[in-house]
Structure 1
């Protein structure tokens, strides 16, 4: 993951070449501005159960899916934290133009369970951070999400998506060489106990 700051405190998350966004009120200090001996505060595990995690992931990605399908990003924007709402609906449409153009269908996230590669954690800045993927065919959807606490609820602050291969592809079976017999798995299996071999 690459984090890059641009004007007006807009945080660009780059995963697999897909740029997405999160609005910050002010840019973080440059890494060289702190003394090298000072330790940065570490993220800590979030106190959130599995159902809460599933609701956050699914509701966010389904809202994005509906926005991409309709071209209307107003509801997605309104569901976000105040920093996220600094993006206009038109700006969100620009950010997700490629996914919309590719007709990326995220509806499968409603029924497929995500696999988390980064368990929910609270970052030093107070944001809830998680990442993972939805295994699907023919491609898996990789996600990274940030949520900010607003009035006792987690509201979306940043979204990053990329699409990748769902699973490793097995090589083609070797071709039979003339003069060599190929034994099938059924023929090679030992007889069942209590049944005489034929």
Structure 2
């Protein structure tokens, strides 16, 4: 073999080695080929689960507690009784019971119309009963006023020691928005009990004839 032929054969061998080197590097970068019939596995990134954050509603303030109902003092009780009976007297004298009804508690207004109150107290008007004296005389209570704090009710019972007719009353009030409102009333004029006579000896009358007691008048009553 000539020298020129030997040089060409060496150059061809070097080119073949260089080609194989580059080919191997490309195969290394690509990775091994999949086996026949084997599909390439695709790596799919899984979406991250959404974390929902709920905003907490602000705490609601506690409702204000209802004001406690307390027993009114003696002066307030006298004022309640006088105001109610004066309002009733105005209705008897004028025949208009609207003011008496409107000053009552909601339950009293629902149960009693002005016409119904006029009918209830019609006997007072026919007998010309005048209650204006209650403005001048202090009421006498026959029982201690009763307060029901759970229901907000106040019961007052007593009489006005007027002559010759005594005015007996029983009044029921309900606490409404911090004020005492009329919830029920019963008013009964009756013959006043005579004052005890002085203890002086008197001659005994022969065969005294007993007198029939005077009946008490009926008491109009308005309660829901």
**So what's the TM-score if we normalise by structure 2?**
0.55
CA distance in 2, matches of 1:176, 1:55: 48
1:25-36 equivalences under 5 Å are none
Q: Whose RCO is larger (CA < 8 A, sep 6+)?
A: 1
Tell me the CA shift for residue 51 of structure 1.
Answer: 1.1
Which of structures 1 and 2 has the bigger CA Rg?
2
Tell me the CA shift for residue 111 of structure 1.
Answer: 0.8
* Residue aligning to 1:24: none
* Residue aligning to 1:21: none
Tell me the CA shift for residue 55 of structure 1.
Answer: 0.8
Query: Residue 56 in 1 paired to residue 84 in 2?
Result: no
Query: Residue 166 in 1 paired to residue 182 in 2?
Result: no
CA distance in 2, matches of 1:89, 1:159: 15
Q: Give the unaligned 5+ runs of structure 2.
A: 1-69, 206-224
Query: Residue 104 in 1 paired to residue 129 in 2?
Result: yes
CA distance in 1, matches of 2:195, 2:154: 34
* Residue aligning to 2:156: 130
The structure where strand makes up a greater share of residues is: 1
CA distance in 2, matches of 1:56, 1:107: 15
* Residue aligning to 1:67: 91
CA distance in 1, matches of 2:135, 2:79: 10
Q: Tell me the alpha carbon deviations over residues 29-56 of structure 1, each in whole angstroms, 9 at most, x when there is no partner.
A: xxxxxxxxxxxxxxxxx62111100110
* Residue aligning to 2:171: 145
Give the 3-state SS of the residue equivalent to 1:118 in structure 2: coil
* Residue aligning to 1:157: 183
Q: How many residue pairs end up in the alignment?
A: 133
Q: 1:88 aligns with which of 113, 126, 132?
A: 113
* Residue aligning to 1:186: none
CA distance in 2, matches of 1:169, 1:58: 25
Give the 3-state SS of the residue equivalent to 2:151 in structure 1: coil
Pick closer, same or farther for the CA change 1:102–1:122 going to 2, 3 Å: same
Q: Give the unaligned 5+ runs of structure 1.
A: 1-45, 178-198
Tell me the CA shift for residue 79 of structure 1.
Answer: 0.6
Q: 1:115 aligns with which of 140, 145, 149?
A: 140
**So what's the TM-score if we normalise by structure 1?**
0.62
CA distance in 2, matches of 1:55, 1:169: 27
Tell me the CA shift for residue 176 of structure 1.
Answer: 8.0
CA distance in 2, matches of 1:129, 1:98: 25
